[in-house]
Amino acid sequence: MKNDPHNDNEVFTVGLGGAAGDGVREAGQNLGILLTDLGYEVFLSFTYPSLIRGGHNFARISFSKEKIWTDHEKLDVLIALNEESVKKHVGELNKDAVIFADSFDEEDKKTFGENAVELPMSASSKELGVPPITRNSVAVGALCYLLDLHFPTMQKILDIVFRDKKLGANIKLADIGFEFMKKMNFRHTKKIDLANASVRTKKIFTDGNSAFGKGLLAAGLDFYISYPMTPSTGILHYLAGEQKKVPTLKVIQPENEISVINMALGMAYAGKRVAIGSATGGFALMQEAFSFSGMAELPLVVAVSQRQAPATGVPTFSSQTDLRFAIHSGHGEFPRIVLAPGDTEEAFLAGANALNLAWKYQVPVIVLLDKILSEHSATSAFDGANGGAKIKIEKGKIWDGKNGAGGKGDDGKAVYGRYEVTEDGISPLAFPGTPNAVVKITSYEHDEAGITAEEAEPVKKMVDKRFAKKDTLVGDLKNQETVKVYGDKNSENVLVFWGSTKGPVMEASKYFDKPVKMVQVVWMEPFDSERVKQELSGAKKIIDIECNHDAELASLIREKTGILIADKILKYDSRPLDPVVLAEEINKFKIIIKIWQRKQRKQKKSLR
């Protein structure tokens, strides 16, 4: 396979495993920040069981000098904070992989030889009188030595990483790890060149939930309301932490998801830019109020993060099973927008665009995330840095006080009508407290003034008005990045995908033997049928790649364009696609529906 990352020096992957409470995620994030600050491109995944306490936690950090889109399964270094981590991940080790642990049993010493390094992690934290959770910093320092970092460089970066956290002990522990490896004069067989890496790049290392929250703030968010539900909870945590920096921001956690969306509708009515978030299970509880937002034409942003479902499902793992649910959410017919970003930078833009679109068109906007995008982290650039987009705040169509759907009052002043029929279907907005305006909203069908109506004529008139707004929105699709195209745009072989599947596809593309065109669909509703047709027409082979059972994007494409996609790579075991395995399948151009099952059979054979 071309440029196989298992055999060259393009990608380096570190695994960090331990029990819940061992600080695995924190250590992984710190390592990701350190590598980003050195100038690397980094991707971190984090897996954990759906337990209140205990269970195996694992962070996998892949990094490279070039853009890296997702993590790789094969490990160059394994940091094992407990014995289980060695046993659980031994099958993922590359040749000559190094393992750091407090100690090894005789069998592991015999198996791994000099690559089994007994680091004084627990002993060092005990000696310094600091909590055991800090011991992973010894391994971070040892890893820095493996990467050929100069000691002063490591200290400088770690000081930046830990400065805000006031964790001086962690730097001391990292020093111990660095010096320990230096005394051993231990070198990794995989050389990592830092010659062109610049310290303190303008990029940051962040997860998709935080990126989405940053986008909301860039577009003028006033309120964020949410009830915690994995994997969307990180948005709540991030924005709650930003309240001190943004005095105008208010973050609220009510008692349940139904309260969340009803509070949000009241805030939108009052003219506040509001967003809410949940997993798909929590969003299911919001359906009646979501329909209210459609009927009342209240601007609302909803972050919906997918996990393996239905019901409670596999709550801490991922899937792409709720595309159809998002598109058809609520009851009755009304316009809505559904966006599906594929990486952290797109999550940022989706947060900003969703808030602007909601207020421009006065519709609910769903941003469809998933566990991988929400909780995994990557090197990213936002808001003007390194080509990131500048965000402008769009406030929507505001009532000028001069004209009104109710004509003139006895005082000769215009009478405001919340649902005034306009050519583009978008009514001027006014809010309680606006002079000479009585602002009425209702969940019932209504006339232009917001008064309940049941007669045939006003019912049809309001349905036509709402869908005129959708027609305006569809006409504006040409101004939106509804579809993205990568790779060889003239290739007759096309891959089509959406959401976080973008990561494995883009990473796999580095190892394709033949040129391939890659089409990412970003706007799911309204669906840009013309653009999708344009990008897929003339293709000899189209392969749909998704993490669900029913190929939901492929069926949507057939519904909207008439194009039947026969070849599919589908994965629905709640685990992400591995880019190397995906590249192998694409290179063969033999479409294996259950590629991961084939891989598992091979692994079982090798163990016999």
The enclosing domain of 549 has a CATH number of 3.40.50.920
337, 363, 387: which is the final residue of a domain? Answer: 387
> In this structure, are 68 and 184 located in the same domain?
yes
* Burial class (CB within 10 angstroms; exposed 0-12, middle 13-18, buried 19+) of 103: middle
Q: What confidence score (pLDDT) does residue 186 get? A: 85
Q: Is 90 exceeded by the pLDDT of residue 263?
A: yes
Q: What confidence score (pLDDT) does residue 259 get? A: 98
CA distance 351 to 339: 10
Per residue, what are the HEC states of 199-242? CCCCCEEEEHHHHHHHHHHHCCCCEEEECCCCCCHHHHHHHHHH
> In this structure, are 189 and 210 located in the same domain?
no
Local confidence band at 594 (pLDDT 50, 70, 90 cut-offs): very low
> In this structure, are 143 and 240 located in the same domain?
no
* CATH code of the domain in which 288 resides: 3.40.50.970
Give the number of other CB atoms < 10 A from CB of residue 311. 7
Q: What confidence score (pLDDT) does residue 596 get? A: 44
Most confident segment among 16-30, 158-172, 398-412 = 16-30
Q: What confidence score (pLDDT) does residue 93 get? A: 95
> In this structure, are 190 and 213 located in the same domain?
no
> In this structure, are 367 and 263 located in the same domain?
yes
Higher per-residue confidence, 279 vs 35: 279
Q: What is the pLDDT of residues 159-202, one digit of tens each?
A: 776 665 556 788 889 899 999 999 998 877 777 665 444 444 57
> Residue 429, by phi and psi: left (phi above 0), alpha (psi -120 to 50) or beta?
beta
For residue 459, tell me if it sits in a domain.
Answer: no
Higher per-residue confidence, 287 vs 165: 287
Average pLDDT of the chain is 90
- Please, are residues 498 and 342 in contact by the beta-carbon 8 Å criterion? yes
For residue 522, tell me if it sits in a domain.
Answer: yes
For residue 50, tell me if it sits in a domain.
Answer: yes
Q: Is 60 exceeded by the pLDDT of residue 113?
A: yes
> In this structure, are 322 and 287 located in the same domain?
yes
Strands 93-101 and 75-80 come out as parallel
Q: Is 60 exceeded by the pLDDT of residue 122?
A: yes
The pTM of this model reads 0.92
156, 178, 201: which is the final residue of a domain? Answer: 201
148, 173, 201: which is the final residue of a domain? Answer: 201
For residue 434, tell me if it sits in a domain.
Answer: no
Where does 104-195 show beta strands of DSSP type E?
116-118
> In this structure, are 137 and 219 located in the same domain?
no
Q: How far is CA 537 from the centre of its chain?
A: 30
For residue 445, tell me if it sits in a domain.
Answer: no
Q: Is 90 exceeded by the pLDDT of residue 405?
A: no
Most confident segment among 176-190, 409-423, 545-559 = 545-559
Q: What confidence score (pLDDT) does residue 592 get? A: 38
For residue 178, tell me if it sits in a domain.
Answer: yes
CA distance 501 to 352: 22
Higher per-residue confidence, 318 vs 54: 318
> In this structure, are 134 and 239 located in the same domain?
no
Task: Tell me which of 182-186, 288-292, 307-311, 603-607 is least confident.
Answer: 603-607
> In this structure, are 178 and 267 located in the same domain?
no
At residue 443, what is the residue type? S
For residue 573, tell me if it sits in a domain.
Answer: yes
> In this structure, are 545 and 512 located in the same domain?
yes
CA distance 392 to 112: 56
Q: Number of folded domains in the chain?
A: 3
Residue range 382-387: mean pLDDT, rounded: 56
Higher per-residue confidence, 326 vs 408: 326
Domain that holds residue 519: 480-607
Buried b (16+ CB within 10 A) or exposed e, 342-366: bbbbbbbbbbbbbbbbbbbbbbbbb
Q: Give the whole-number percent of the chain exceeding pLDDT 90.
A: 73
> In this structure, are 179 and 226 located in the same domain?
no
Q: How far is CA 534 from the centre of its chain?
A: 27
Q: What confidence score (pLDDT) does residue 357 get? A: 98
Higher per-residue confidence, 364 vs 584: 364
Residue range 215-243: mean pLDDT, rounded: 97
> In this structure, are 304 and 282 located in the same domain?
yes
What 3-state class would DSSP assign to 181?
helix
Task: Tell me which of 143-147, 291-295, 326-330 is least confident.
Answer: 143-147
Task: Tell me which of 72-81, 92-101, 193-202, 432-441 is least confident.
Answer: 193-202
Residue 458 tokens, joined: 């006003």
For residue 404, tell me if it sits in a domain.
Answer: no
* Burial class (CB within 10 angstroms; exposed 0-12, middle 13-18, buried 19+) of 424: middle
Local confidence band at 601 (pLDDT 50, 70, 90 cut-offs): low
CA angle 70, 499, 28 (to 5 degrees): 35
Distance (Å) of CA 284 to CA 1, 109, 258, 374, 547: 44, 51, 10, 19, 21
